[in-house]
Amino acid sequence: MPTLIVILLGGVIIAFVLGQEPWRRYQRNKIQARPFPQQWRAVLKQRMPYFRALPADLQLQLKKHIQVFIAEKKFIGCEGVTVTDEMRVTIAAQACLLLLNRPDYYYPKLRQILIYPAAFIVRGASPDAAGVVREQRRVLSGESWGQGKVVLSWQDAKEGAATPDDGRNVVIHEFAHQLDQEKGLATGAPLLSRSSDYQQWSSVMQQAFAQLQLDTASGIRGLLDGYGATNPAEFFAVISEVFFEQPEQLQQHYPALYQQLSQFYRLNPLSWH
């Protein structure tokens, strides 16, 4: 009898999970069918010069993504921040750039976006070079947690949107981490379309990462921020910023890297600029 109950419960759970997807798609289609709010258009016009550079089909796609993203994710103000539609739309528009040409995908593990007014302090213990564990304070503009949260400084998110060609964008950076964390810990190797793609991805990334580490250690400053030399996860987030914001330079200096990112993001930003 207990075995039968387990089987029945398993069947119910499977049926529930399978039934969720059609219902979720139905709900998302309903959301996307609504007119894009006029006040949200005003925010895009004011805060997102990037939006005007997109082809018309991607502009439409981005607006539909924004609608679903805002409907499904919870925005929480911290340190006295009152969350506004301006904040929601500005952050969602940048986060959804990474979702273009990805139908029905909306950072499935992400539940909350925490918004601080400006850079925030994170405390934690970590070992120093001698192995002694010390309390550390870090000032951050953004952070991506594996537990379904992204933390952002509104000041930095706003400034990142306003300057779309400097290769620095905290929202793109943190949401690239979210893509990387979909499979678990961030390793710099997000889920690719085909298992056969990983060998080429690994080869190209490792070569470029090693070069950045060497350049950074030698004090050579180039296109890629030296922060990307920290580890492969930060490298992926840093090059994602440059891919969207400085595609010409990335393609010129790192053509193999650009090709891998273009294939992963299913986009060619070179045609937008």
Q: What is the pLDDT of residues 194-211, one digit of tens each?
A: 888 999 999 999 999 999
158, pLDDT greater than 60: yes
266, pLDDT greater than 90: yes
Q: Residue 123 has what pLDDT?
A: 59
Query: pTM to 2 decimals?
Result: 0.86
- Kindly state the tokens that stand for 13: 């759970």
Q: Residue 119 has what pLDDT?
A: 79
Interatomic CA distance for residues 68 and 104, integer angstroms: 9
Q: Which fold has domain 14-186?
A: Cyclin A; domain 1 (1.10.472)
- pLDDT confidence bin for 145, thresholds 50/70/90: confident
Lowest mean pLDDT among 18-22, 38-42, 234-238, 262-266: 18-22
Asked if 260 contacts 190 with a C-beta cutoff of 8 angstroms, the reply is no
Interatomic CA distance for residues 245 and 113, integer angstroms: 23
Asked if 96 contacts 62 with a C-beta cutoff of 8 angstroms, the reply is yes
Non-local (6+) Cβ contacts of 110 within 8 A are 73, 148, 149, 150, 178
Helix (H) or strand (E) holding 65: helix 56-72
Lowest mean pLDDT among 32-41, 57-66, 123-132: 123-132
Please tell me the class of the 188-273 domain: alpha beta
Helix (H) or strand (E) holding 230: none
What average pLDDT does range 33-45 have in this prediction?
Answer: 95
Q: What percent of the chain has pLDDT over 70?
A: 86
- In order of 108, 214, 273, the CA distances from 40 in angstroms are 24, 44, 24
Q: Which residue in the block uniquely carries the two structure tokens 């379904």?
A: 148
Amino acid (one-letter) located at 38 = Q
Q: Average model confidence (pLDDT) for the chain?
A: 87
Q: Residue 21 has what pLDDT?
A: 84
Q: Where are the domains of the chain?
A: 14-186, 188-273
